Amino acid sequence: MTDHDTVDNSGPCGSSGAGCAGGACGPAPTASPASPAPTASPAPGAPGLGIFDKELLDRCISCGFCLPACPTYALTGEETSSPRGRITLMRALETGDLGPDDPTLAEESSFCLGCRACETVCPAGVEYGQLLEQWRDHQWSGRNRPWIARGLMALVSRPGLLRLQGLVRRHARGPGRKTEPRDATPAPSSSPSSPPATNPAEGPEQPVSLMLGCVERGLYPEVSQAVRRLCPEVDVPAAQGCCGALHAHNGDSATGEKLARTLGEQLPGTVLTTAGGCAAHLAHHLGRDRVRELSEYLDERGHRPAGQVTVDGRRARAALQDSCHLRNGLGVTRPPRELIAEVADYVELPGAGQCCGAAGTYAMLRPADSKKVLDPKLTEVEHADVDYVVALNPGCLRQLEQGLRRVRSRAKAIHLAEFLALAAEQGPGRPAPGAGAADTTER
């Protein structure tokens, strides 16, 4: 596949258009977001081949608000590399105006990161993530699926191989330790769609089961070990497989749904995850009430981290890299920032909410494009002079580790669970309220 060249999109709202309050002016692109897409778009409601959910596809009104939010459009300035342009391609595929072997369809279904940033600015409520899954289900079927994705999907579909990683890497396991009910009143939920947290005084709490991610249990077993130290009440069932997010994002959403529901049966009560992408996928199939990402779980329980992270005797400076699906799919942004600010001096990166380029298998399928998406973020890290960049997803963590190593940065990438556990290990010394805390207002 051809990697796209980067173009200079500097405009009145900044390099990505993020400074525009509504996104309507966009960057300085080849086509204004307010103008029609250059490719003729089949009329909504036209008869189709049944590749896409008709209601989802017809919802797009081609307004262009999505253009400034799209990382790949920021790279190229090309309409076809924007959400609006890709939906135009989807409509052409649905009506048969473009054949499934059209090279533009193949390229753009692969070039998209699937970060869902477009959904957060769409006035029509287009569920682009669902459309992308349907597109890849059709475009990447059979031998058309990238071989790297096929290999990874085959690996994580075998629970025995996943459990074998635990014998070598020693991730957390076993039942949780019974704890006394907390006195603190749970904090309000971070997402409008999240139900209020259960007050222990109102009755017995549901069990909480930690999901061991496919990548995380093998590459980062320290993450689940840190969760066990932070949340000793959490169970870690041994018999658990893949959540199916990898399949859903790589052209097999049917298997992705099946694996999610199976995992829901294997993990009783609330499913706690340390991977933002897995959280969004599981919430879609199991229901938002059953799924919690670590930062929102701690926030709802009124957890205040102990200790602080120090570097050379001073309070550490730490930034956050949002998980795209956690931020754009579930709306969780405030809890991780507030938790970090409790134990370190929090520094908000200008592009914290923008994709890092990991995007599941994207960094392996399109390494050159992935690097182009990541490089501006690495520059921001250097300018911010931080000691740590905290991640909420194992894919993001690996992407940041490799990037920071490549540019020989002194900053270290670390998962939120490990960061909070590190603070507790380094000892008490919580500063006075407000000391060192940056603006953590939810955006």
Amino acid (1-letter code) at residue 330: L
pLDDT in tens, the chain (443 residues): 456 655 444 333 333 333 343 333 433 333 334 333 444 445 555 567 899 999 999 999 999 999 999 999 999 999 999 999 999 999 999 999 998 889 999 999 999 999 999 999 999 999 999 999 999 999 988 777 877 877 777 777 777 666 666 665 567 566 666 654 443 333 343 343 444 444 433 445 789 999 998 888 878 999 999 999 999 999 999 888 899 999 999 989 999 999 999 999 999 999 999 999 999 999 999 999 999 999 999 999 999 898 999 999 999 999 999 999 999 999 999 999 999 999 999 999 999 999 999 999 999 999 999 999 999 999 999 999 999 999 999 999 999 999 999 999 999 999 999 999 999 987 665 443 333 444 443 33
* CA–CA gap between residue 335 and residue 322 (Å, rounded): 11
Query: What's phi and psi for 29, nearest 5 deg?
Result: -90, -175
Task: Map tokens 């556990």 to a residue.
Answer: 421
Task: Map tokens 């380094």 to a residue.
Answer: 426
pTM above 0.85, yes or no: no
User: Dmax over Cα atoms in the chain, in whole Å?
Assistant: 67
Radius of gyration, CA atoms only, the chain: 22
Q: Are 348 and 377 in contact (CB under 8 A)?
A: no
Q: Are 118 and 70 in contact (CB under 8 A)?
A: yes
- The pair of three-digit structure tokens given for residue 292, joined into one six-digit string: 């919690």
* DSSP conformation class of 318: E
* Alpha-carbon distance values, 69 to 14, 75, 118, 227, 285 (Å): 12, 11, 6, 33, 26
CA dihedral for 437, 441, 442, 443, sign (positive or negative)? negative
* Buried-exposed string 414-429: b where 16+ CB fall within 10 A, e elsewhere: bbbbbbbbbbbebeee
* CA–CA gap between residue 175 and residue 173 (Å, rounded): 7
